[in-house]
């Protein structure tokens, strides 16, 4: 070894004073002598530095066993080549090198990246939805408020249809699907809208367009669509979709019963958002369960979606782009038909009598 010692300055961390120090490399430790005091021995493995040691820079190091103590050595020391002390120090304590410092930064970053990747894979394979979990914690009163606002925006009072016979028919259909409100109390209304559509709003509110009823060939088709929208309501999909659209911070405020101002445009938000295919499959599964419980045939629902699919693919049909976009997230029609066929069969009864069906078709006049 060409250099056994060098000069530097030492601070004990208890005062602002610094002391001249003579530093030598021992076999297992850095030896620090301060005047007539006993030598300090800093083991190489315990040496620390807030910045990597470099031959061309001032060396400032400490030791894990002696908190507060600091040793400073200039890169140019009388009688020795520039940077020789730093190079020898790095050789004996490689944890002080830039490479080691970079590795110490890389390891936690790599671990964090791996954790994010694994979390992403877990979310992907489990279909976990934070918004869905948060939606279930929204207070019932807040859900009702959200639902009323959505309905008021998308189907103002002047567009809601009522007739004594039509309302009775709609209530009869809903009662078949949701006997004694076993799946919660739903508020179902028919509205004059320009699209063939039905949508679930927060708080178990459901709007069916008059165009959809006109498009349907039987009450069983309408019952199937209604059962599907009930499935969205049971799973709180509308609330979850709005949480995703508004953001987590607003959602937390909603969970606490506030942020009513944030509801100002949720009607448009709900109409524009798409449910995931997982959410659509969940709603379909609920629909089949409700249809079975009501003894309503599931086949007409498959027929309805087949005709919707044909309408979408018919470029000359002038079909609403809104409906095309909304239905684009639904599982493929073929998949739905197969799922319906796989549910088996059961004894069925028409969703409505002929008189009730005609009353529902005329509910908007």
Statement: residue 195 has pLDDT above 80: yes
User: How many angstroms separate the Cα of 160 from the Cα of each of 188, 192, 193, 326, 332?
Assistant: 11, 6, 9, 22, 31
Percentages helix, strand, coil for the chain (3-state, rounded to 5) are: 55, 15, 30
The DSSP result for 125-137, as a single string, is: HHT--HHHHHHTT
Residue 191, SS3 per DSSP:
strand
Structure tokens at 259: 């942020």
Structure tokens at 121: 């894979």
In sequence order, what are the beta bridge partners of 8? 21
In the chain, ranges of CATH 2.30.29 domains: 5-99
pTM confidence score? 0.62
Mean predicted lDDT score pLDDT of the chain? 81
Structure tokens at 38: 């006993």
Cα dihedral: 278, 280, 284, 285 (round 10): 20
Fold of 5-99: PH-domain like (2.30.29)
Question: pLDDT tens digit string along 87-127?
Answer: 888 899 999 888 877 777 777 788 888 877 776 665 555 45
Statement: residue 329 has pLDDT above 60: no
Question: pLDDT tens digit string along 40-89?
Answer: 899 999 999 888 888 777 788 899 999 889 888 876 665 666 678 788 88
Query: Distance (Å, rounded) from C-alpha 89 to C-alpha 84?
Result: 9
């Amino acid at each position: 070894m060409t250099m056994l010692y060098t000069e530097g300055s030492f601070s004990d961390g208890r005062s602002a004073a610094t002391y001249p120090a003579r530093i030598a490399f021992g076999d297992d430790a850095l030896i620090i002598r301060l005047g007539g005091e006993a030598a300090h021995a800093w083991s190489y493995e315990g040496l620390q530095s807030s910045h990597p040691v470099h031959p061309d820079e001032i060396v400032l190091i400490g030791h894990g066993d002696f908190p507060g103590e600091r040793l400073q050595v200039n890169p140019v020391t009388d009688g020795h080549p520039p940077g020789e002390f730093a190079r020898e120090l790095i050789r004996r304590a490689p944890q002080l090198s830039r490479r080691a410092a970079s590795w110490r930064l890389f390891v936690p970053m790599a671990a964090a990246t791996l954790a994010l990747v694994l979390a992403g894979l877990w979310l992907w394979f489990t279909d976990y939805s934070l918004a869905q979990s948060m939606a279930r914690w929204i207070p019932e009163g807040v859900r009702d408020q959200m639902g009323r606002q959505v309905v008021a925006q998308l189907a103002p009072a002047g567009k809601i249809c009522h007739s004594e016979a039509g309302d009775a028919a709609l209530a009869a259909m809903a009662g078949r699907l949701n006997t004694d409100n076993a799946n919660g109390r739903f508020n179902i209304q028919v509205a004059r809208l320009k699209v063939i559509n039905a949508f679930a709003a927060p708080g178990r509110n459901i709007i069916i367009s008059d165009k959809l009823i006109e498009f349907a060939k039987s009450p069983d088709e309408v019952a199937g669509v209604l059962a599907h929208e009930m499935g969205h309501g049971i799973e709180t999909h509308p609330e979850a979709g709005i949480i995703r659209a508004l953001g987590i911070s607003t959602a937390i405020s909603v969970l606490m019963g506030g942020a009513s101002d944030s509801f100002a445009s949720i009607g448009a938000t709900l109409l524009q958002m798409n449910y995931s295919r997982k959410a659509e499959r969940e709603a379909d599964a609920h629909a089949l369960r409700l249809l079975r419980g009501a003894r309503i045939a599931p086949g007409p629902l498959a027929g309805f979606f087949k005709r919707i699919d044909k309408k979408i693919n018919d470029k000359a049909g002038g079909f609403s782009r809104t409906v095309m976009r909304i239905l684009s997230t639904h599982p493929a029609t073929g998949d739905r038909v197969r799922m319906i066929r796989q549910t088996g069969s059961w004894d069925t009864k028409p969703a409505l009598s002929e008189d009730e069906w005609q009353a529902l078709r005329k509910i908007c006049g």
